[in-house]
Structure 1
Amino acid sequence: MIHYKTREEIELMRESAQIVSKTLGALAAEVKPGVTPLELDAIAETCIRDHGAIPGFLGLYDFPNTLCMSLNQQVVHGIPNKTPLQEGDIISIDCGALKNGFYGDHAYTFEVGEVAPEVRELLKVTKECLDLGIAQVKKGNRIGDVSFAIQQHAEKHGYGVVRELVGHGLGKKMHEGPEVPNFGKRGRGPVIKEGLVIAIEPMINLGTKEVRQLSDGWTIITGDNKPSAHFEHDVAVVDGKPEVLSTFSYIEEALKKTSAI
């Protein structure tokens, strides 16, 4: 079911989304060779709680941690562990926060040191896919318009678009209607209306679109073990237009400071 939000509810959701954005910004300076995903997970939990929120993923569907952390060929839902990050890795960090009864849900794929040029291009194009999808979140459009924009741009670059995992509506539950696939046809799917809030999250693979799940019951990896990228924003329809409730600005500021050192 799709639950359309009032302006007041959207502002509460913005607060939750911004807490996630600030948490990812705090992590940006810490993502480097030698740090472990579990260390980053602890930082994130502290940051979320310090902002008066509850980690949105911790315990959700029995997930054991604050962050989903997916390394290299892992697409999404990776479980943080004690293995240090290495130069040349990429890691998708997906984070959720619950405050005032509403969720924020937001993700960014980080480079660990210097990554291969083809991997950096994958990240660039995946982020562009997100922006193109957001641009289609207009009153009167359909979800398929968002999906088509993402798929077309990714496949134009020869990348695989994951089918088994999709974006989603967001609100008092982490996952509400409608589903927001990263593939589809224009003019198909639910009509986009005022007050819709969705999490758009392209999951784009360097190689095949095929994926499989590991025996932990959570981690999804690419079928050919090539890298995958994942970026996510929370987007509301306000005055008929897309309004992004989350932001990458905290991440970008932290990465600029890190690169200047």
Structure 2
Amino acid sequence: MRRINRNDDCWCGSGKKYKKCHMEQDETLRKLGNELGMKIPRDIIKTPEQIEGIRKSGEITRGIFDLVEANIKVGMTTDEINTLVHEYTINHDAIPAPLNYGGFPKSVCTSINDVVCHGIPSDRKLEEGDIINVDVTSILGGYFSDSSRMYIIGEAKKEAVELVEAAKEALQVGMDVVKPYAFVGDIGEAIQTYAESKGYSVVYEYGGHGIGVKFHEDPYIAHVGKKGEGMILLPGMVFTIEPMLNQGRPETRILKDDWTAVTRDGKLSAQWEHTIVVTEDGYEILT
């Protein structure tokens, strides 16, 4: 990589001079890298144009969730949810990223009760008291945005409602520690500490991930961990946080469809997710 002079255009594509844009940050990264004995990558930092593209994609994803919320009900099949998601996405000039990704056969993931993630829509009808995670990833103009929400069908048991609420709070707890020069491990420790204080376990076999110009990029975001460990967080990094909380044990198993992950003990699981970007003083939710 060639050395950039202070009066050159910044490498990020902002159109600003390097000295007025990323020069100070790069100098900080070099110092931090020397102190930590590691090279801190900058190639995963998104440009302002890329962040805006992801933000616009996120608007599609949010619209899908609002549509699902207005229609989801007892007796609805998860295939009908898939149809809602697919048609809304296509009608807004976007592409449903899950469709045919690695052979996944549908446009959205629908994970009910003990399904942790990657549930495949089917003719399964929603029943009173079910909890369901709907996981949406949209591609608009080549930019990806990924998010998921929980929905409670009718009147659910108190323990199910409390799990859903705790999973949502765990996401917020994880996001709240995101800031420049924090670490991925800070996110994991915050989520794990909160979840375990509520009596839940955190799934460690799946995590969040970088996203933007690809479905899955660096960094990997573990939802368990230790403060000060893992990759350093930098302004312009875009990734998902998506903690999965289980009532019982954290372990999962994969069903014969090679996609659906369920809790090993058959107990309930819940998950919420956002795509976020690290800003100069914290974070911004893009979904």
Question: Shorter-chain TM-score category?
Answer: over 0.9
Cα distance in 2, alignment partners of residues 151 and 12 from structure 1: 32
Cα distance in 1, alignment partners of residues 282 and 47 from structure 2: 15
Determine whether 1:148 maps to 2:193. no
- Residues 123-202 of structure 1 mapped to structure 2, 5 A cutoff: 123-202=164-243
Q: What SS does the corresponding residue of 2:125 show, helix, strand or coil? A: coil
* Residue in 1 that maps onto 2:139: 98
Deviation, 1:165, is 0.5
Residue type at the aligned position of 1:103: F
User: Does the CA-based 8 Å contact 2:179-2:280 persist in structure 1?
Assistant: no
Cα distance in 2, alignment partners of residues 228 and 17 from structure 1: 25
Cα distance in 2, alignment partners of residues 232 and 75 from structure 1: 13
User: Does the CA-based 8 Å contact 1:193-1:240 persist in structure 2?
Assistant: no
Name stretches of at least 5 consecutive residues in structure 1 with no aligned partner. 247-261
* Residue in 1 that maps onto 2:115: 74
* Residue in 2 that maps onto 1:251: none
The sequence identity of aligned pairs, in percent, is 39
Q: Tell me whether 235-244 or 169-178 shows the greater mean CA deviation.
A: 235-244
Determine whether 1:41 maps to 2:117. no
Residue type at the aligned position of 1:115: A
1:217-261 C-alpha deviation (Å, 9 max, x unpaired) = 000000111110010001001223110011xxxxxxxxxxxxxxx
Which residue of 220, 226, 242 maps to 2:261? Answer: 220
* Residue in 2 that maps onto 1:11: 52
Cα distance in 2, alignment partners of residues 74 and 118 from structure 1: 16
Q: What SS does the corresponding residue of 1:138 show, helix, strand or coil? A: coil
Cα distance in 1, alignment partners of residues 196 and 65 from structure 2: 28
1:80-105 C-alpha deviation (Å, 9 max, x unpaired) = 00011100001110011101111011
1:142-175 C-alpha deviation (Å, 9 max, x unpaired) = 0000111111100111111101111100111110
Cα distance in 1, alignment partners of residues 52 and 176 from structure 2: 20
Residue type at the aligned position of 2:142: G
Deviation, 1:51, is 1.3
Q: What SS does the corresponding residue of 2:266 show, helix, strand or coil? A: coil
Once superposed, which parts of structure 1, at least 4 consecutive aligned residues long, lie more than 4 Å away?
Answer: none
Deviation, 1:52, is 1.1
* Residue in 2 that maps onto 1:236: 277
Deviation, 1:29, is 1.6
Cα distance in 1, alignment partners of residues 201 and 173 from structure 2: 17
Q: Tell me whether 178-187 or 3-12 shows the greater mean CA deviation.
A: 3-12
Cα distance in 2, alignment partners of residues 243 and 92 from structure 1: 23
Which of 1 and 2 has greater Rg?
2
Q: What SS does the corresponding residue of 2:72 show, helix, strand or coil? A: coil
* Residue in 2 that maps onto 1:204: 245
Q: What SS does the corresponding residue of 1:127 show, helix, strand or coil? A: helix
TM-score (norm 2): 0.84
Cα distance in 2, alignment partners of residues 43 and 106 from structure 1: 16
Q: What SS does the corresponding residue of 1:131 show, helix, strand or coil? A: helix
Deviation, 1:28, is 0.8
User: Does the CA-based 8 Å contact 1:167-1:181 persist in structure 2?
Assistant: yes
Cα distance in 2, alignment partners of residues 160 and 71 from structure 1: 18
* Residue in 2 that maps onto 1:54: 95
* Residue in 2 that maps onto 1:253: none
Cα distance in 2, alignment partners of residues 29 and 226 from structure 1: 28
Cα distance in 2, alignment partners of residues 122 and 64 from structure 1: 29
Name stretches of at least 5 consecutive residues in structure 2 with no aligned partner. 1-40
Aligned pairs, number: 246
Q: What SS does the corresponding residue of 1:98 show, helix, strand or coil? A: strand
